[in-house]
């Protein structure tokens, strides 16, 4: 089922008791941020602030701040369902010639036409243009300040739409936008992002760049906005795939871009190729303030909106945060994509504490010498995973989500002299400890068991494991002997009567 819009999603959440309407008067400066963080840490509901100081618009926060709401946003009961959909899609192979097509009625052709039917569809009108003005005033929007030393109020959860001037292809990404004035915003697209690449293209042409900023859309589309889709695949098309229904797009009123017709608020404007302005500091997902730096400036020249829009926002900071929860869902969803390229990968964990860009733990089915190193280098060449500063590789029988076991394997099985692979390369713009911005060291730790062929000269010790017959006998004893009953493993809470 495809969500019509953000409001429909919020209403359903409310029906399930998973939305809290905050009626007290709350300031968008720090107060909302603190309340949202408490809701997230308590695995609490989504929040709708209805009485916002300084603005007539309600603000939705923590909307995708739990795995259950993310699954719901994707029309599923768990993230594994859409992941399986992706896995099935990746199994699809185009037919090798007309003969194959003709001998495969209902198979390949049906899949192809289903995919085509999910492409975005153009519509001439949409709720996001119920009202409009060519005198937008950003001061009237309930833009949050998340942390005390932030450089200014910042739109934190927008879908920023830009376009490649050579191909006309649109790019969509979530990039924060600091409000500088009633009509200008700082465009914090980091240097590796599609928005930054498009901006460089306009700079080379000496032309100003059109931009559209979508604040609030149906939750599946918002999720698609941050998903690491392979280059060249449109995030609006990916939203259609996740929705199981194509996403209606409407042309903007004053810029040559298209936005989801059911969006809440759309800011239209232009970026001067020569203009920059100091952006930040900003409390971002490293948990630190990112330093103030120059970024391009969006001049907002037109605003369209629903007559009663909801302003969607989020709080970044040290995990746990909404974007960390989202990051983990993205990892589960895209595991099939990673495995399509690297089939030896059994499982992958990007711990929240590693803020997606710092730490990856991967289990592999090792089948040749130095296989772990091959996987490390492949990950460093894989889309946004190129930023990973620490990669730990373990054998297939180690659960990468079990961090105690992983630490045990690293300490036991990785020799600091032999099994660390140091490289130097691009790192995320927000990375902190690298001496030069955007460049830094990375290390892969091979914590797999070592083989003779890898130059390990000694016999690898066998793990000491109990005889299964003895385990079974002691299990039975613990069940039958009341004195030993207290040694029984405690039953899981949901198994208790
Ligand atoms: C809440 C949130 C805020 C984000 N803020 C930024 C940001 O300010 N700048 C940025 O470059 N990326 C930001 N990102 C990450 C990008 O949206 C994400 O990496 C996206 O996949 C980039 O797509 P692109 O490489 O196609 O531009 C943010 C992600 C989330 C979830």
The CATH class of 6-94+103-312 is mainly beta
User: Ligand 1, closest atom to CA 172?
Assistant: 26
116: confidence class by pLDDT, cuts 50, 70, 90: confident
Instruction: State phi, psi for 67 to the nearest 5 degrees.
Output: -55, -35
Query: Nearest CA to 181 among 152, 147, 201, 207?
Result: 152
Q: Give start-end residues of each CATH 2.30.110.10 domain in the chain.
A: 6-94+103-312
Q: Identify whether the C-beta of residue 66 lies closer than 8 Å to the C-beta of residue 79.
A: no
Q: What percent of the chain stands above pLDDT 70?
A: 94
Q: Give start-end residues of each CATH 3.40.1670.10 domain in the chain.
A: 322-454
Atom 18, ligand 1: which residue's CA is nearest?
A: 226
Query: Nearest CA to 25 among 62, 53, 55?
Result: 53
Atom 22, ligand 1: which residue's CA is nearest?
A: 173
Told to judge if 150 belongs to the known catalytic residues of this protein, a careful annotator would answer no
Q: Identify whether the C-beta of residue 244 lies closer than 8 Å to the C-beta of residue 196.
A: no
Tell me the C-alpha distance between 16 and 11, whole Å. 9
Q: Which of 150, 284, 323, 428 is catalytic?
A: 284
The tokens for 258 are 């298209």
Cα 486 to ligand 1 centroid, rounded to whole Å:
51
- Report the chain's mean pLDDT, rounded to a whole number: 94
- Report whether pLDDT(150) > 90: yes
Cα 261 to ligand 1 centroid, rounded to whole Å:
22
- Report whether pLDDT(495) > 70: no
Tokens 């971002």, located at residue: 284
Give residue-wise pLDDT tens across range 62-103. Answer: 999 999 999 999 999 999 999 999 998 888 665 555 565 556
Whole-number pLDDT of residue 376 = 98
Whole-number pLDDT of residue 110 = 66
Atom 21, ligand 1: which residue's CA is nearest?
A: 226
497: confidence class by pLDDT, cuts 50, 70, 90: very low
Going by C-beta distance under 8 Å and a sequence separation of 6 or more, which residues neighbour residue 404? none
- 206 vs 90, residue with greater confidence: 206
Architecture of domain 322-454: 3-Layer(aba) Sandwich (3.40)
The tokens for 69 are 């709401």
Q: Which helix (H) or strand (E) covers residue 439, if one does?
A: strand 439-446
The tokens for 112 are 């192809």
Cα 455 to ligand 1 centroid, rounded to whole Å:
42
User: Ligand 1, closest atom to CA 314?
Assistant: 1
Give residue-wise pLDDT tens across range 40-67. Answer: 999 999 999 999 999 999 999 999 999 9
Whole-number pLDDT of residue 89 = 85
Give residue-wise pLDDT tens across range 260-304. Answer: 999 999 999 999 999 999 999 999 999 999 999 999 999 999 999
- Report whether pLDDT(114) > 90: no
Whole-number pLDDT of residue 107 = 58
Whole-number pLDDT of residue 117 = 82
Pocket of ligand 1 (CB under 6 A): 156-157, 171, 173-176, 188-190, 193-195, 226, 228, 314, 316, 323, 326, 384
Give residue-wise pLDDT tens across range 363-422. Answer: 999 999 999 999 999 999 999 999 999 999 999 999 999 999 999 999 999 999 999 999
Cα 173 to ligand 1 centroid, rounded to whole Å:
6
493: confidence class by pLDDT, cuts 50, 70, 90: very low
Whole-number pLDDT of residue 435 = 96
Atom 12, ligand 1: which residue's CA is nearest?
A: 175
Atom 31, ligand 1: which residue's CA is nearest?
A: 323
Pick from 37-46, 112-121, 336-345, 440-449: least confident? 112-121
Q: What percent of the chain stands above pLDDT 90?
A: 91
User: Ligand 1, closest atom to CA 157?
Assistant: 1
pTM as predicted = 0.93
Tokens 């797009």, located at residue: 249
- Report whether pLDDT(191) > 60: yes
Whole-number pLDDT of residue 388 = 98
Whole-number pLDDT of residue 135 = 98
496: confidence class by pLDDT, cuts 50, 70, 90: very low
Q: Identify whether the C-beta of residue 255 lies closer than 8 Å to the C-beta of residue 269.
A: yes
Cα 118 to ligand 1 centroid, rounded to whole Å:
24
Q: What is the arithmetic mean of pLDDT over 224-250?
A: 94
């Amino acid at each position: 089922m495809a969500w019509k819009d953000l409001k429909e999603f919020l209403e359903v959440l409310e029906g399930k008791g998973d939305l809290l309407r905050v009626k007290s008067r709350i300031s968008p400066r720090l107060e909302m941020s603190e309340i949202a963080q408490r809701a997230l840490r308590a695995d609490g509901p989504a929040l709708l602030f209805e009485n916002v100081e300084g603005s007539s618009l309600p603000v939705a926060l923590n909307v995708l701040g739990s795995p259950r709401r993310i699954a719901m946003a994707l029309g599923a009961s768990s993230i594994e369902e859409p992941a399986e959909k992706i896995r099935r899609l990746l199994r699809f192979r185009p037919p090798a010639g007309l003969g194959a097509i003709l001998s495969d009625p209902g198979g390949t052709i049906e899949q192809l036409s289903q995919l085509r039917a999910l492409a975005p569809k153009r519509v001439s009108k949409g709720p996001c243009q119920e009202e409009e003005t060519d005198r937008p005033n950003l001061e009237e929007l309930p833009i949050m300040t998340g942390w005390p030393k932030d450089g200014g109020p910042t739109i934190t959860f927008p879908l920023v739409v830009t376009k490649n001037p050579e191909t006309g292809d649109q790019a969509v990404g979530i990039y924060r936008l600091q409000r500088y004035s009633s009509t200008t915003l700082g465009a914090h697209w980091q240097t590796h992002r599609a928005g930054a690449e498009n901006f460089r293209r306009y700079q080379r042409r000496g032309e100003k760049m059109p931009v559209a900023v979508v604040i609030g859309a149906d939750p599946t589309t918002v999720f698609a906005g941050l998903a690491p889709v392979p280059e060249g695949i449109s995030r609006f098309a990916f939203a259609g795939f996740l929705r199981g229904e194509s996403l209606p797009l409407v042309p903007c009123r004053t810029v040559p871009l298209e936005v989801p017709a059911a969006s809440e608020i759309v800011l239209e404007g232009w970026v001067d190729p020569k203009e920059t302005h100091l952006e930040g500091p900003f409390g971002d997902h490293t948990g630190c303030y990112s330093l103030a730096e120059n970024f391009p400036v969006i001049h907002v020249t037109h605003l369209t909106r629903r007559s009663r829009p909801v302003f969607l926002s989020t709080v970044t900071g040290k995990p746990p945060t909404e974007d960390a929860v989202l990051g983990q869902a993205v990892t589960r969803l895209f595991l099939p994509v990673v495995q399509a390229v690297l089939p030896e990968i059994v499982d992958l964990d990007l711990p929240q504490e590693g803020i997606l860009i710092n730490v990856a733990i991967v289990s592999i089915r090792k089948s040749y010498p130095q296989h772990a190193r091959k996987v490390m280098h492949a990950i460093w060449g894989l889309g946004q995973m190129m930023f990973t500063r620490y990669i730990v590789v373990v054998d297939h029988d180690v659960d990468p989500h079990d961090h105690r076991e992983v630490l045990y394997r690293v300490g036991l099985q990785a020799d600091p002299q032999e099994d660390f692979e140091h490289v130097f390369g691009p790192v995320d713009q927000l990375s902190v400890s690298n001496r030069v911005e955007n460049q830094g060291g990375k290390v892969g730790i091979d914590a797999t068991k070592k083989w003779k062929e890898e130059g390990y000269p000694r016999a690898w010790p066998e793990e000491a494991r109990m005889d299964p017959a003895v385990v079974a006998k002691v299990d039975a004893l613990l069940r039958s002997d009341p004195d030993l009953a207290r040694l029984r493993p405690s039953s899981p809470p949901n198994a208790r009567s």
